[in-house]
Amino acid sequence: MTNVKIIEKKGKLKGPTIVILAGVHGNEKAGVLAIKNISLKLKLDKGKVIFIIANLMAFRENKRFIEKDLNRCFLEQQTLEIENSLEGRTAREIIHFLRNADFVLDIHQSNSEKSKPFIICDEKIINLTKFLPISTVTLGWNNFFPGASASFVNNCGGKGIAIELGSVKDQNCVVLAEKTIINFLSGLGFIDKKAEEFAEKEIFKIKKVHRNVNAPFKKFRDFEDFESLVDNCTIGKEGEEVICGDHGDIILFVRDRKDLNMECFIALNRICT
């Protein structure tokens, strides 16, 4: 039984193919609602749009995932543990579409109430971010998250971008998701509508991803996403070991982790403003 929903729209003229993906994490619903709203009335000038609502079971249960984080399962060679999981099977349903797409836009939200919208992309395609109504851009994810959808697409030679809309509790995320999808399709020429350009961007690149190897990780306090660290700032403790960040690091996704080898936080460097 399939765990995804596919909606295809074709234009009158031949053109590129774009996959617009949402629901990779089942509790991140804004992208799914945006797809449902847009797909009903979308008329393409050219090309093909494949909307994919992923992880239907997690969506119905309002859970991030059932067995495995789906956004770590988009791999050419899955481990046996991933291969046998619901999300591993779901990733294999979706990979065919990702591999054959010219563009992929994957829509996410954050569980942090203090989150802010940002873009995840590869340096080679940073020019495409001008069509996205989000001012913060992050680079370098391919090296640290090979199982993510955008990383998979970029490694296959396509152009993959992911966006974080903001908190799962923010009702405005649906509006932002719809605006992002329509403007991106306009900018790429899929629909006959003049695209707005958002050229001013704040750019960051991943410096490191801290994973807890020896013990559970407990954050020292709540951190805002993209908070700048001052001095030798304590981020948390891994068992009895104090974990600190460097002065000037930009911090993202600081999370308590009980299981080992989990992503506890991401440190970034500011590239330009």
pLDDT at 273 over 70: no
Residue keyed to tokens 């994919």: 52
Considering the segment(s) 5-187 as one domain, its CATH architecture is 3-Layer(aba) Sandwich (3.40)
DSSP track, 109-171: EES-TT---EEE--GGGGGGGGGSS--EEEE--TTT-TTSHHHHHHHTTSEEEEEEEEETT-T
Q: What pLDDT was estimated at residue 272?
A: 76
Q: What pLDDT was estimated at residue 10?
A: 95
Task: State the Cα–Cα distance between residues 176 and 31, nearest whole angstrom.
Answer: 9
Do 49 and 185 form a contact (C-beta atoms < 8 A)?
yes
DSSP-derived pairing of the beta strands 202-211 and 227-228: unpaired
The dihedral built from the CA positions of residue 167, 170, 173 and 174, taken in this order, carries a sign that is positive
Q: What pLDDT was estimated at residue 232?
A: 81
pLDDT at 225 over 80: yes
Question: Which strand ranges, in their side-by-side order, compose the sheet holding 241-244?
Answer: 217-219, 234-238, 241-244
Q: What pLDDT was estimated at residue 112?
A: 83
**What ranges do the domains of the chain cover?**
5-187, 204-272
48-62 pLDDT, tens digit each: 999 999 999 999 999
Considering the segment(s) 204-272 as one domain, its CATH architecture is Beta Barrel (2.40)
234-270 pLDDT, tens digit each: 999 999 999 999 999 999 999 999 999 999 999 999 9
**Which residue, 131, 66, 73, 124, is CA-closest to 105?**
131
Instruction: Look up residue 240 and give its two tokens.
Output: 């009895």
Q: What pLDDT was estimated at residue 48?
A: 97
Instruction: Look up residue 135 and give its two tokens.
Output: 């001012």
101-110 pLDDT, tens digit each: 999 999 999 9
In angstroms, what is the C-alpha Rg of the chain? 18
H-helix or E-strand containing 39?
Answer: helix 30-41
